[in-house]
């Protein structure tokens, strides 16, 4: 039972794979996952939801804390470094919902908000 549901999509991930190759893309994904994990509690759950998408389940979190987490995660990822590739700048688009039920509706709404974040940066695929 999660109060917060967050969807994350890696920005420009196809470009990283196409430019540097899939092994470097895999390293980038691991760096992003580590950055996210550094921002969440042991009671939270990080799931790789697709090729370059992640889902986070936040049980027992307050709305204000969830909003802070989104900014904190985005900031942590933007400071993550892919070793030996200093020109790769990692960033994510993120969307989160609070106390939306059922779970699939929460995921759908979080996904919509994540795409709005991506659109606000002018980078819809």
Catalytic residue ranges: 52
Yes or no: say if 48 and 66 are a contact pair by the CB < 8 Å rule.
Answer: no
Gap between the Cα atoms of 103 and 86, Å rounded: 38
């Amino acid at each position: 039972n999660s109060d917060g549901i967050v969807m994350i999509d890696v920005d420009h991930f196809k470009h990283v794979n196409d430019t540097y190759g899939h092994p470097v893309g895999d390293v980038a994904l691991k760096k992003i996952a580590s950055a996210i994990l550094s921002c969440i509690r042991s009671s939270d759950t990080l799931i790789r939801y697709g090729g370059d998408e992640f889902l986070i389940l936040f049980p027992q979190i307050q709305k204000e804390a969830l909003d802070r987490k989104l900014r904190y995660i985005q900031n942590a990822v933007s400071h993550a470094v892919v070793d030996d590739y200093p020109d790769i700048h990692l960033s994510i688009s993120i969307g989160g919902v609070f106390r939306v039920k059922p779970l699939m509706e929460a995921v759908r709404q979080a996904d919509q908000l994540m795409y709005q974040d991506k659109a606000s940066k002018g980078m819809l695929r």
